[in-house]
Structure 1
Amino acid sequence: MGMLVISENMTLDGVMQDPTGDDGFERGGWFGQVTDEDHQAWAEVECGEALRAQALLMGRRSYEYLVERWPGRTGTWADRLNSMPKYVVSSTLMKPVWSNTTVITGEVVDAVSRLKHYVEGEIVVNASGQLVPLLIEHDLVDEVRLMVFPFVLGGGERLFGATSATKALRLVDTRIVGAGLALLTYSQVRVE
């Protein structure tokens, strides 16, 4: 059975919006404000995660962002992302151009539940700000990995929104990445 992992870059105050500044958010671009050492260490963590993962799951907007950047790249990380199975939740994407991409339409919760039974190993969700809250709300998430960038933006879209009930998580690992980033890993506490 697959393990659904949310893997997010976010600021200290939980903002995940526009890390690269490409979307025009006035406080965006925070990803580029760390040192080269931090970027290199971040890339090593992300590459390792991709090598361990068996599949990627994402929303349409995240797919569009990633498909513009990865298919033309080479190297260990790019080769893994380009070759691995990718699943995109979308009602509008009809013909994905990124290799090994399957579009999930219809009832998302059921489709992701089936995907977890079908895929052995980690199914990683990056970005996907609309999909992540739905997965959390329906208790489909097994682990949350937060790469925390040392900025307080004071505004912007946050990863965690309203839920119908408290969602308990347990801190299972902390790690300093580079000189200024923190990787926090939580597992979901299953209530029987």
Structure 2
Amino acid sequence: MSRRITASVYLSLDGVVEAPENWHFPYHDDATQEAVLAGMRAADTVLLGRKTFDIFAGAWPERTGEMADWFNLSPKLVVSSTLRDPEWKNTTVIAPARLVEELIELKARPGRAIGVHGSISLVRALLEHGLLDDLTFMIHPLVVGSGERMFPETGPRLPLRLTAATTFGSGIQSLTYSKEN
């Protein structure tokens, strides 16, 4: 059985994914925190795009706690054509041109899931190449109004199957979709 690549994305009702740090936290509570941690516990590798990597590498090494430990101690893969010497411990750089090949090889190795957090361009690329197995949207009960949206106006048709749904007291809905086989 191959490893799964999973992604977790914060999303507004109008599909905005940009800058969740500006709108997510009023809805964050213990139950949503536990759901995020459960997803992290199911993975043993972190896969990030370069922008998200830079944000996380600037924040997580100085933090403590279960989530910080997971980010800091887990093997991290960052997709980048410009990063040469990542300073964040346990980080390996994958060239975009080798992304598909590297991930096919990684999925074939033993281990738990490979978790993607944020990294919207990367999530789109994984979907396009059929590499993303599970996509969890943490849908927030607000309309942001402007910002980058999860899916562009034109793009590939992506049949997905709803495999889990939870509504939290904060109003966030967690919807997990798996790719159709």
TM-score (ref. length: structure 1): 0.86
Q: Distance in 2 between matches of 1:147 and 1:59?
A: 19
Q: Which amino acid aligns with 2:34?
A: E
Q: Which amino acid aligns with 1:30?
A: W
Contact 1:132/1:159 (8 A) holds in 2: no
Mind listing any 5+ residue stretches in structure 2 that lack a counterpart? none
Asked if residue 45 in structure 1 is aligned to residue 35 in structure 2, the reply is: yes
Q: Distance in 1 between matches of 2:133 and 2:105?
A: 15
Mind listing any 5+ residue stretches in structure 1 that lack a counterpart? 21-28
Q: Residues 130-141 of structure 1 correspond to what in structure 2 (within 5 A)?
A: 130-141=121-132
Tell me what 2:155 maps to.
163
Q: Describe the superposition over 1:16-39 as per-residue Cα deviations: whole angstroms up to 9, x where unpaired.
A: 00111xxxxxxxx111333xxx33
How far apart are 1:66 and its partner, in Å? Answer: 0.6
Q: Distance in 2 between matches of 1:132 and 1:179?
A: 26
Q: Which amino acid aligns with 1:50?
A: M
Q: Which amino acid aligns with 2:5?
A: L
Task: Indicate how the Cα distance of structure 1 residues 99 and 119 shifts in structure 2: closer, same or farther if over 3 A, else same.
Answer: farther
Which has a greater percent of helix?
2
Tell me what 1:25 maps to.
none
Tell me what 1:23 maps to.
none
Tell me what 1:129 maps to.
120
How far apart are 1:75 and its partner, in Å? Answer: 1.4
TM-score (ref. length: structure 2): 0.91
Q: Secondary structure at the match of 2:34?
A: helix
How far apart are 1:11 and its partner, in Å? Answer: 0.5
Tell me what 2:140 maps to.
149
Shift >3 Å, 4+ stretches? none
Q: Which amino acid aligns with 2:155?
A: T
Q: Distance in 1 between matches of 2:23 and 2:65?
A: 26
Tell me what 2:57 maps to.
67
Q: Describe the superposition over 1:34-93 as per-residue Cα deviations: whole angstroms up to 9, x where unpaired.
A: 3xxx33322221122212211110111000011111111111221122111110000111
RMSD: 1.5
Q: Distance in 2 between matches of 1:163 and 1:115?
A: 27
Asked if residue 117 in structure 1 is aligned to residue 108 in structure 2, the reply is: yes
